[in-house]
Homo-oligomer: A and B are copies of this chain.
């Protein structure tokens, strides 16, 4: 099945052919096989380094949240209730209080914030944890919607809103940088609507990615929690002026869903295309043996392998053609072919997975240009992703245009909306499209402007301040 004709079937086929997962025994769960887990591990190391640079420290809070804690913040409880799994029985006994299996950790962490934070000197408090989380999914889709997934969740406490909001945006910028510079995935950073924000947050910031079928994927979130939780959990500090004040909070996360984005955005009909920094191997060496030259080729290959970090030398007994397909399917960024000609001429034959181009380089040139080649690959992936996004982002002036795009072209739609929840709900009901975000204005976010703006809500015609990003979504 081609990606063009049937994206979701192509996606599933690719995931299984590239040996990334198996379905778990419980609906909606998956087994991360070694290749998929290694991609996640590499992304983890990158994210962990970045957040440690911001002064964030890792911790671990229990997975079981007593139901009474989850109930404390009403919107939060209502938002998560339909999705939670509940332990009612443990250690051979019916439990007196039901335990919710962590869907997110605000309500188990914040009673401790109340205990730990007494003075402005205890602020900011910056913590993070890497864990599994459970959210029951009615319509699971591997990596993108799973009943159990892996993530990190950062939680911070600050003295005032200025500081906390600036942290929220710093994290959003960090995620954007990782998506663009490391993963080569373009998207729109922006603020969620009131209806679409995190249950219990003051505001939610997001990075919205366009998948090949024209649906949006929320790539991460960074929440401005305001004082909603601090008031409920009584988290107060004595400020310099001796007054007791409620803290300002943030929480933010990136999940294994990022692997879904990688597969969906970059992959082609030959399989995965992985960005070098998160690929399990940066390069693979495929020897092309003649009848008598195995030893020569192996020696040369091993020499090359030493010079490229994280290179796999595929010396199995399969044919070169089999190996070419095998590693293309798995998306290794660079293939290095070594046969008689390469040994003789001391020139290597390279194949770039991202653009299917061949290169011929001496060992010395490869060494000197390796970093550049990988950088070019990253840039090319981002360029392609950006072009696809812009080619499928449409600015419309009327609800008719809006509906037409959804039935004919699919993609992101930019449209003025009055920010009234009723219009948003009606649009969702009638078109299945939701507000994805109010994009943060940036000069580089030039999209195809169809005609001059009317500044009127496309649904009700009333005055509208902002042009929002809409799409059907995962």
Contact = CB atoms under 8 A, between A and B. Distances in A.
A28 B3 CA distance: 50
B62 A31 contact: yes
A205 to B, nearest CB: 25
A343 interface: no
Nearest to A31: B61
Interface stretch (A84-92, A260-268, A300-308, A399-407): A84-92
Interface string A132-144: 1010111000000
A88 B89 contact: yes
Interface stretch (A18-26, A181-189, A333-341, A438-446): A18-26
Nearest to A27: B91
Contacts of A137: 91
Contacts of A34: 57-59, 127
Interface string A385-424: 0000000000000000000000000000000000000000
Contacts of A84: 90-91
Interface in A61-90: 61-66, 69, 81-90
Contacts of A99: 26, 85
Nearest to A138: B91
A118 to B, nearest CB: 14
A115 interface: yes
Contacts of A89: 85-86, 88, 98
A108 interface: yes
A64 B31 contact: no
A101 B24 CA distance: 14
Contacts of A38: 57-58
A29 interface: yes
Interface string A85-119: 11111111000001101000000100110010000
15 contacts: A22-B115, A26-B66, A29-B62, A31-B62, A32-B59, A34-B57, A34-B127, A37-B58, A41-B58, A60-B132, A63-B134, A85-B90, A88-B89, A90-B134, A131-B132
